[in-house]
Structure 1
Amino acid sequence: MQILLRITGMAWRHRPNLILAYVSFFAAIGFSLLVPKLFGNSIDKLVSIEGQQVTVLAVEWTTQLVLALAILGANVARGFSDFARTYATDSLSQKVSFDLRNLLYDKLQHISFAYHDKEHTGNLMSKATSDVESIRRFINLGLVRSLDVSVRIVAITSILLFLDWKLALLSLVFVPFVVLRSTLVLRRLRRMWLHVQEVMGETVTVLQENLVGIHVVKAFASEEYEKEKYRRKAQELREEFYKSERLQGVNSAWMSLYFTFALGLILWFGGIEVINGNLSPGGLAQFVLYMNQLTFPIRASAQIINSFSRAISSGQRMFEVLDAKSPVEEKPDAKVMGRSQQGRVQFVDVSFSYDDRTPALRHVNIDAAPGQVTAILGAPGSGKSTIVNMLPRFYDVTEGHIDIDGVDIRDVTLESLRRNVGIVQQDVYLFSDTIRDNIAYGAVNATLEDVIEAAKVAQLHDHIMSLPDGYDTWVGERGATLSGGQRQRLSIARTVLIDPPVLILDDSTSSVDVETERLIHQAMINVMKGRTTFVIAHRLSTVREADLILVLQDGEIVEQGSHIELMAKRGTYRDIYDLQLRPQAEILLDAAITSGDIGGDN
């Protein structure tokens, strides 16, 4: 119920549409209830039954014409009222779904990485599409139509009791069974639709992962495996839909049976009442027409129950996202961080855990002076990426604090913090847009001259100018038309353009050839001047020029110093150096001398 109240609250924000919908359906009900009354009166003016005697009455044709025009006018007025109601409810449902989509999208933009790490993308896509559509259908069908149905049932029942209370009670004997069955069906459908939405999210996830990883699928000739995996999930979804549709179909059949039985009772007992003079022929006609009108709201109740069930399950899934608490929250009194004047970055006794159990960082202390290049080296899983994820507050520290120019980064707004920290990410993501717009992402006011200058720094300008459309070249989905090295350099140009005082290079040259790496390395020497820079790389060739090198192991800094200092220590850094850069012949010679195979007694 709480979920439905929240959805109703969202609809109330657009109260003009909601009020128009209610006013128009009240008008439609009034006009529709008038038709059987006029029709019955018309019959009573033509025919009279007394016992077994049927008498045709003389009546002025003008009287019948007036009644006919009244019936026509009532139906026309009902048609206009129905149109107004349909327009208002459709408009209302679209506005609510628009609000929901934007609320969900905004939430996903601002919630921390920790939430995205746990949620499947396909499941979130399902919530943003099918779940929003279910709520839209509830607004259109359930929220307004449910009151329409309730008012019609009460009004028609009252009229039937007024016409002939004995016949009314006899014909409505089935109503308790309808109410009981509807209640039971609602409970079952709610559980079913919640499971359907979950399976739909899983199905979308399988499709999304396949499309993103289509190159891997084809490289390993796994098309049939992926086809079968998707078929199984689609089969499960079909079966879940079938269960719910079967339940609704059975419920609808029972509704038809109830009304057919009730109509038979009306014709049998109503005929007796007419013969006995307790009910006029027009009264019986009214009774049948009103009973026929009653079948509509009762039948519609099955659809309404279905819309309620889907709205509850979909609303539950939607509000799980909207109510999710982000581990990274901006303080209410957070200040806007201006452009950092110095760029001094300090990690003070920083510890962090992704799952509150296994520490990813343990008591890390770093003091990066303004303009200093700090290289971070370590095996996969040692905590390199975790450190740089702390700096722009993608994740928050578990213990300790991080300062920029002596200010705790938790005391400033997230947007202003991230304007001061530029990141060249390891996994480069490009949008399906032009090269110019991809470079200018994050600096939308940048001129073409600014974009060109950034591309030159990233050693990408010459390649761009060789393309037929230059900077207006479309890069395709995820930058499919560019090579790995070109995407890497475009990412560098994108970061250079925002001119951040603190720079993070996360494996920025790990996927380019030697010549391109040399060009980028030379360009980045100029870019890093005057900026506090953190470089993360697996290869020593990109870090040995750094002012400070940090060697991480299991989330701890085990060594730190310059290249020369660390080489002299003959520790972990020296081992990595020997493995990657030291000439192979020199390594073998040292090993032979150490083992005694060369020299000695010989």
Structure 2
Amino acid sequence: NFFGTRKVGEIISRFMDASKVRDAISGATLTIMIDTLMAVVGAIILYIQNATLFAIALIIAFLYGVIVFAFNKSIKKVNQEQMEQNAQLTSYLVESLNGIETIKSFNAEQEASLKTESKFIKLLRSVFKGGLIDNVRSSITSFVALTGGVVILWVGAWNVIQGKMTVGQLITFNALLAYFLDPISNLINLQPMMQTAVVASDRLGEIFDLELEIKDHEKGKIRPKDLKGDIVIKNIDFRYGTRALVLKDLSLTIKQGEKIALVGESGSGKTTLVKLLMNFYPWEKGDITIKGYNVKDIDLEFLRERISYISQDIFMFSGTIRENLCLGRTDIEMDEIIDACKMAQAHDFINKLPLRYETYLEENAANLSGGQKQRLAIARAILKKPDIFIMDEATSNLDSISEKAIERTIEEVCKGVTTIIIAHRLSTIKRCDRIYVMEDGRIIEMGTHKELMEKKGIYYELWKEQLPDYDDQTNPDDGEQANHDNFFFPAIPQLYSQTLAASAEGAVTVENKEGRQDK
């Protein structure tokens, strides 16, 4: 919830605010100690010298305090504005850099530049406003100090005329006055820095005060031997924040070792459901149990250790291919890595790279294609040797040949492993033991491929959309083959129909590869 509802730039900005707290602590601690001590000692000496003039000095110090109190709220408010504007600017810069290809492809450089400039101008206005407030505060402080000095000299001169003190005592008092008022002035000048630190610590506190995902009592939760058992989802309700329900009273049972598929339109709740299996979010109502254990009672680290999840948004870190494949584990041998990559059809392209498994990947593997990233993600998931295997559009960027090879590999690797597949390409899931069709957060159909096709419901319609040539007498395997043929040779059906039309009028002559004329 935390990372899903906040921009990356905003989070970065909040942690950058920590430097302001550090600067305040390192810059103010010594000043506060020394200046406070000097002000106390100076006050004692001035009181001994002349109590009347010291009373005037105390009035000046009191006015300093009034100034601090008067500007406290305005300085705090402008600091909050500055940090919020800086967070918005940082967020947009991060967003623009991540989407630079999209910006360029739509010729939106000027629009992005104007938005950046607008946010930067807002930040500058906040900075100028803060500078103006600080200048006004400093000017009033200086005016009070100068006026107070004149008043002390005037009262002192009157006392000299009256014979109540000597000229030397007046000069001494005026000289010592700086050792009392200057430290107080220094303490007042710390106000902007301290207010900035207070606002920064408040922003950081909003993060630190959040409830930890892995709590202290997590260590006392269940850590079973494995998670090889039935998955039972019963009457689950879930929503993101205050939005409408994404999952509505959803129930299903997945037998241990079963291979099931979740299909349906985008936004029907398929990905959300598998994320709840990994306890990414708390749900409102219902229960999810694995092997008879409630997911909420299972140790979170153990739960995610026994589940391999390949998300539709694959992420690779800056680092070597080997480091990315061994993510979260340090006990993997090189032979295991190579075997997993061979299973995921990744070994061949890795061998063609300059440093093979030590090849350095750029940010989010920008130097790899989408299909190559998916193969690495599949290899990384295989290396976990999980009890539950979840694939969320894990082969969507692969060519048909690689996809078929990986399907066969997964069937071998996942023998006895509960497998959940989310797919929009229906040809990839027809061999599943059970298929669940989701719509608007509910399961509306379930069964094998054959059962659902015979039912002629939503699944049948989805299949017909992807394979328009499918009919009731068509074998599903034939339909799938036709789909792949159409994928590689989209002009064949049209050419075939044209040929039939032409053959009605007479023989069609074509030239074969050897150059002979065939009819």
TM-score (normalizing by structure 1): 0.74
Identify the match of residue 262 of structure 1 among 136, 144, 148: 148
Do structure 1's residue 115 and structure 2's residue 2 form an aligned pair?
yes
Quote the residue 2:63 is aligned against. 177
The aligned runs of 1:352-367 (5 Å cut-off) are 352-356=238-242, 358-367=244-253
* CA–CA distance in structure 1, aligned partners of residues 216 and 294 of structure 2: 12
| AA matched with 1:126 | S
Do structure 1's residue 513 and structure 2's residue 399 form an aligned pair?
yes
Identify the match of residue 165 of structure 1 among 51, 60, 64: 51
* Aligned residue pairs, count: 473
* CA–CA distance in structure 2, aligned partners of residues 326 and 468 of structure 1: 42
Greater alpha carbon shift after TM alignment, 385-394 vs 524-533: 524-533
The aligned runs of 1:445-594 (5 Å cut-off) are 445-583=331-469
| AA matched with 1:463 | F
Identify the match of residue 226 of structure 1 among 98, 112, 122: 112
Identify the match of residue 14 of structure 2 among 127, 130, 133: 127
The aligned runs of 1:374-413 (5 Å cut-off) are 374-413=260-299
Q: 1:281 Cα deviation (Å)? A: 6.6
Quote the residue 2:182 is aligned against. 296
CA offsets per residue over residues 510-533 of structure 1, 9 Å max, x none? Answer: 122223222322222222212100
* CA–CA distance in structure 2, aligned partners of residues 372 and 339 of structure 1: 20
CA offsets per residue over residues 202-255 of structure 1, 9 Å max, x none? Answer: 111111111111111111111111111011111111111111111111111222
- Stretches of structure 1 that go unaligned for 5 or more consecutive residues are 1-113, 588-602
**How large is the RMSD of aligned CA atoms in angstroms?**
2.4
* CA–CA distance in structure 2, aligned partners of residues 474 and 415 of structure 1: 28
| AA matched with 1:199 | Q
Task: Describe the SS at the equivalent of 1:118.
Answer: coil
Q: 1:487 Cα deviation (Å)? A: 0.6
* CA–CA distance in structure 1, aligned partners of residues 218 and 344 of structure 2: 39
* CA–CA distance in structure 2, aligned partners of residues 565 and 586 of structure 1: 12
Q: 1:123 Cα deviation (Å)? A: 1.4
CA offsets per residue over residues 277-305 of structure 1, 9 Å max, x none? Answer: 76567655543332223343233233322
Task: Describe the SS at the equivalent of 2:248.
Answer: strand
* CA–CA distance in structure 1, aligned partners of residues 231 and 63 of structure 2: 72
Q: 1:200 Cα deviation (Å)? A: 1.4
The aligned runs of 1:62-101 (5 Å cut-off) are none
Task: Describe the SS at the equivalent of 1:541.
Answer: helix
Q: 1:152 Cα deviation (Å)? A: 2.9
Q: 1:344 Cα deviation (Å)? A: 2.2
Q: 1:409 Cα deviation (Å)? A: 1.0
The answer (yes or no) to whether the contact 1:115–1:326 under 8 Å persists in 2 is no
Q: 1:586 Cα deviation (Å)? A: 9.7
| AA matched with 2:66 | L
Quote the residue 2:318 is aligned against. 432
Quote the residue 2:75 is aligned against. 189
Q: 1:166 Cα deviation (Å)? A: 2.6
Quote the residue 2:99 is aligned against. 213
Quote the residue 2:494 is aligned against. none
Task: Describe the SS at the equivalent of 2:360.
Answer: coil
Judged with a 3 Å threshold, the aligned counterparts in structure 2 of structure 1 residues 389 and 200 are, in CA distance, closer, same or farther, namely same
Greater alpha carbon shift after TM alignment, 560-569 vs 135-144: 135-144
* CA–CA distance in structure 1, aligned partners of residues 338 and 410 of structure 2: 16
* CA–CA distance in structure 1, aligned partners of residues 217 and 392 of structure 2: 28
CA offsets per residue over residues 8-67 of structure 1, 9 Å max, x none? Answer: xxxxxxxxxxxxxxxxxxxxxxxxxxxxxxxxxxxxxxxxxxxxxxxxxxxxxxxxxxxx
TM-score (normalizing by structure 2): 0.85
Q: 1:334 Cα deviation (Å)? A: 4.2
Judged with a 3 Å threshold, the aligned counterparts in structure 2 of structure 1 residues 395 and 170 are, in CA distance, closer, same or farther, namely closer
Do structure 1's residue 307 and structure 2's residue 193 form an aligned pair?
yes
| AA matched with 1:539 | R
Task: Describe the SS at the equivalent of 1:116.
Answer: coil
Sequence identity percentage: 30
* CA–CA distance in structure 2, aligned partners of residues 171 and 571 of structure 1: 90
Judged with a 3 Å threshold, the aligned counterparts in structure 2 of structure 1 residues 331 and 157 are, in CA distance, closer, same or farther, namely closer
Do structure 1's residue 140 and structure 2's residue 65 form an aligned pair?
no
Q: 1:507 Cα deviation (Å)? A: 0.3
Judged with a 3 Å threshold, the aligned counterparts in structure 2 of structure 1 residues 329 and 168 are, in CA distance, closer, same or farther, namely closer
Identify the match of residue 203 of structure 2 among 308, 317, 321: 317
CA offsets per residue over residues 147-203 of structure 1, 9 Å max, x none? Answer: 544443233122112112233334444333222111111122112212221121111
Q: 1:560 Cα deviation (Å)? A: 0.6
Task: Describe the SS at the equivalent of 2:463.
Answer: helix
Judged with a 3 Å threshold, the aligned counterparts in structure 2 of structure 1 residues 154 and 564 are, in CA distance, closer, same or farther, namely same
| AA matched with 1:314 | A
* CA–CA distance in structure 2, aligned partners of residues 117 and 384 of structure 1: 17
| AA matched with 2:435 | I
Identify the match of residue 372 of structure 1 among 258, 267, 291: 258
* CA–CA distance in structure 1, aligned partners of residues 118 and 447 of structure 2: 55
| AA matched with 1:125 | I
Quote the residue 2:329 is aligned against. 443
The answer (yes or no) to whether the contact 1:327–1:395 under 8 Å persists in 2 is no
